[in-house]
Every structure is written in C-alpha cells, then in structure tokens.
Amino acid sequence: MGGFEGIRAQDILPLLVERFTFDEFIGFGNVIDPFVDRSFGPNFDIARPDELVFIDRVHAADEEALAQGDVKPTHMFAVMRVAGHGPTRHLPGLSPERCIRWPD
C-alpha cells in the first residue's frame, strides 16, 4: 500500500476564506471517506448489489449529515481569486464559510 500526503479541506479552509474569494465551492465527503478512500475502496465489488446498497446508504447518510451541518466536508473543489467578482456558487447550505470546522 502506498502513502498519500495531502491537505485536508478542514485544515486549510479557514485560511482560504480569510485570503481569497470563491467563485465556486464544492465541499464533500466525511462519513463516506473510510469506505471509499484509496485503502478500503478497492475492496468493494461493484458487481455485488449488497455492496452497492451499503455504499449508497453510507453516502446518503454522509450527504444528510453535511446538509444538516452535523459534520463538515473533508474534501473540496474550488475556484478562488484574490479579488471577488460576485456571489459564490455552492451547494445549498454548503458555503465555504459554513463548512469551516472551528476548534472546540
């Protein structure tokens, strides 16, 4: 198994919101992460209906928890700029500011 180094959205998002404006923001992933990441995801067989049902249920729970604000996204895709141009396009309730995971 190979390693992977990256920057998690929850670690960098507060700094990005402070320094940039967002044209587009897609925050996603939390509960689903352990089931579909590079380590475990390849163990699922998409030809098995029971495994697809399981992943669909976990994904639905993840999406609901994100929409309710119970969890914050751990991944993001974004288009940013130094100076703003208009409102940020994002999924309902998932603006960059709302997706920040503040320390307790």
Question: Does residue 100 sit within a domain?
Answer: no
Note down the domain range covering 16.
9-90
pTM over the 0.85 mark: no
Instruction: Output the tens digit of pLDDT for each of the chain's 104 residues.
Output: 455 667 777 778 999 999 999 999 999 989 888 888 777 667 778 899 999 999 999 999 999 999 998 999 988 899 999 987 788 999 888 999 999 988 77
User: Is residue 54 a part of any domain in this protein?
Assistant: yes
Q: How many domains does the chain have?
A: 1
DSSP code string of the chain: --------HHHHHHHHHHH-EEEEEEEE-STTHHHHSTTTGGG--TT-HHHHHHHHHHHHHHHHHHHHTSS--SEEEEEEESS--SPPEESTT--TTTT-----
Per the domain annotation, does 15 fall within a domain? Answer: yes
Residue 97 lies in a domain: no
| 101: in domain | no
